[in-house]
Each structure stands twice: as C-alpha cells, then as structure tokens.
C-alpha cells in the first residue's frame, strides 16, 4: 500500500540539532561547521527553544552531529514530552554515548533511528568509517532488546546502491520496524563530489521502489523521497505549504534543508524569540515557478537535471520533503494491524 505523504500547515515538524560534533567523519556528512558552528546547545537553552516551537501534537526529531554525545539528551527528551510534542525521534549513528539506553526508556521515545549505509561492514565502513557497522548493529540489537521502537536511515548513493536490496532481510532479522531510504543531498562534505554520488533517475526508479515493496512484504514500513515527478503530478514547495523548522545550535532556523550550506535561513532564534529574517533569504525563493520544479535544487545540485535538445527539462524535481510511504499489507504480519503511518511527520521528512 503506497501513498504520497502530503504537506500540511497543520502538522508542525521540528528538527533540532542539539550539537554539531560527532565521533564519526562520514563521507557524505551534511553538517557544515562553518555555517552551523561547533556549539553544544546547553540543556536549558535547548528546552527554551523547544518551548518556543511547541505546538499541540508537533513532531520532533533530535539530531546532531551525534545527539547522544550530549550528556543531557535524556532530560531534553523528557522536557519535550512534557510540553506535548506528539512524536519524538532521536537520530543516532548507533554508538549511544553516555549510557543513553540506560538513561532513557522506550516510553520516552517514539523511535530511535539508526543510520547505516551498507548491508555489509565493507560498504558501510567505507562511507562511515572503520567499525561503524558493528557499532550500529550492536546498538540496534541492544535497543530492540530493551523494547525501543527502532527505525533505520539508509542514504542511497552510487557508493552503496548495490547493497540496498540486501537491507530488508537484515532489518527484519534485527527487528527494525521502519526503513527510511534517503537520497544523498549535495550538502556539506558531499558538495565536493556532486554528480559522482547522486543516483540517476533510472537507478533510483529501478532500485528503490522494488526494495521498498520487498521490505513492506516483511512487515516493515518504508519511506523514501519521490525525487522525480511524473508528468501529471503537481509540484509543491514545503516552504510554502508545510510547517517545518530545521534548527542549528547557532540559532539559524531554515525552512528548507537544501539551503543549509548558505546563510539563507529564513528565521533565527534570538533573545528568546523566533524571528523572521528580512533581505535575501530562502523565503524569497519558495514561490518562484520554474520548469525544473524545485528552484533551490536547480541552484545547489543541478547535476540531477537533464534537458531535451530544445532546452526543456526532461522531468521536474520534487520538493526534497515529498515522500512516498509503503505500508505492509495487514496479512504480512499475522495477528497485527499495520502500524499507522503518521502523515508528514518529522521522521518521514528527515533522514540524512
């Protein structure tokens, strides 16, 4: 059962980077310390910022850097829960510092989301660093044994697309309940590699939907970005139609993650308030209409476009936050109903 997750102004999604430091040095890391600083947000400030954005039922993703390097992460999670955030997810590389699994419980979080970029240590560690595969798999096993709901993000690129089809059985064996296949973004470290990492339209369409269907057959909910719009599909910009906030510890607040390598943030947190920035920012780009679809995609990662001899684009690129979700059929998990796929939650939008 596949569906496109539509944008809604009624669902707020908050992505709070509580620090930018990390123990890993992944090849495709999108964190850009020149733009986002090297600060760890003190717990009191993180909680104050969460209060600014708390909205009944808002979805929250806490991320970094590696968020479990923050010694006060469990307190920040509990504060967010008490403010009424509807769902809370932590994105982790799996090292789970500061005894995170002992200091938090399955009831504190909706999902603990792990990042793995290969079905084998050979492929994953070539991207994420020596030992990252074993640490992540051990972290998943421990979290599942403690009763946490787990999900997994796989950032698909030319470096690892050959192992994508091996992921569903691995996830089923580990007890992971949701699978996010993410497209590599040309941001941060990836910006130097450009077209060498991005998948072509054919690669994406031939590899990703069949793997998603196979995972759903195994009882796993799968979410992946649409990337390429069909001719009859409307183009929509989440910057205009959704209520998303990508927040960095230096106070920058973006509405569009594709802008994060540039000082184009549309808002910032200053003096305890969330303020809209005037001047040249992402806000001025969201309403521009171009034949290629997303205008910021054309500006920052034009290598994923191609043109006909008459100069017209061969296809339009969807908003990077437009996702497809594939739900397992009810009968694929005997005795259980499919887990409700929340509409356009932060977890569905996120994934790095």
Residues lying near ligand SF4 in the complex (CB under 6 A) are found at: 22, 24-26, 29, 31, 64-66, 93, 115, 128, 237-239, 256, 258, 286, 294-297, 319-321, 352
Q: Which is nearer to ligand SF4, 128 or 252 (CB)?
A: 128
| Cβ at position 213, least distance to ligand SF4 in Å | 26
| Cβ at position 256, least distance to ligand SF4 in Å | 3
Q: Which is nearer to ligand SF4, 218 or 300 (CB)?
A: 300
Residues in the chain: 352
| Cβ at position 102, least distance to ligand SF4 in Å | 21
Spatial separation of the C-alpha atoms in residues 78 and 85, rounded to whole Å: 10
Q: Which is nearer to ligand SF4, 187 or 219 (CB)?
A: 187
| Cβ at position 72, least distance to ligand SF4 in Å | 18
Q: Which is nearer to ligand SF4, 90 or 216 (CB)?
A: 90
| Cβ at position 195, least distance to ligand SF4 in Å | 18
The residues with which 254 forms a beta bridge, in sequence order, are: 246
Q: Which is nearer to ligand SF4, 115 or 327 (CB)?
A: 115
Q: Which is nearer to ligand SF4, 136 or 215 (CB)?
A: 136
| Cβ at position 334, least distance to ligand SF4 in Å | 36
């Amino acid at each position: 059962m596949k569906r496109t997750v539509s944008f809604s102004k009624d669902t707020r999604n908050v992505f709070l980077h509580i620090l930018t430091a990390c123990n890993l040095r992944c090849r495709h890391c999108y964190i850009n310390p020149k733009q986002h600083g090297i600060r760890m947000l003190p717990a009191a400030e993180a909680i104050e910022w969460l209060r600014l954005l708390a909205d009944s039922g808002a979805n929250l993703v806490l991320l970094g850097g590696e968020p479990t390097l923050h010694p006060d992460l469990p307190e920040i999670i509990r504060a967010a829960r008490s403010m009424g955030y509807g769902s809370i997810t932590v994105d982790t590389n799996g090292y789970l510092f500061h005894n995170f699994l002992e200091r938090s419980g399955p009831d504190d979080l909706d999902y603990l989301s792990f990042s793995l970029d290969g079905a084998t240590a050979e492929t994953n560690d070539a991207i994420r660093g020596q030992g990252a595969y074993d640490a992540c798999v051990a972290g998943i096993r421990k979290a599942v044994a403690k009763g946490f709901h787990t999900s997994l993000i796989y950032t698909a690129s030319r470096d690892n697309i050959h192992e994508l089809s091996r992921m569903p059985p691995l996830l089923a064996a580990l007890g992971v309940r949701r699978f996010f296949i993410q497209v590599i973004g040309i941001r941060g470290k990836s910006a130097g590699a450009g077209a060498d990492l991005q998948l072509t339209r054919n690669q994406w369409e031939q590899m990703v939907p069949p793997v998603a269907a196979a995972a759903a057959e195994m009882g796993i909910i799968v979410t992946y970005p649409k990337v390429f719009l069909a001719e009859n599909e409307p183009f929509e910009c989440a910057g205009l139609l959704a209520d998303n906030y990508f927040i960095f510890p230096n106070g920058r607040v973006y509405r569009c993650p594709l802008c994060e390598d540039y000082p184009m943030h549309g808002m910032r947190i200053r003096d305890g308030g969330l303020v809209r920035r005037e001047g040249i920012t992402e806000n001025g780009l969201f309403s521009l209409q171009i034949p290629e679809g997303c205008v910021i995609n054309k500006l920052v990662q034009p290598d994923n476009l191609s043109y006909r001899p008459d100069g017209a684009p061969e296809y339009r690129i969807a908003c990077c936050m437009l996702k497809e979700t594939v739900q397992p059929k009810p009968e694929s998990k005997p005795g259980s109903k499919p887990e409700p796929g929340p509409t356009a939650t932060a977890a569905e939008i996120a994934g790095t």
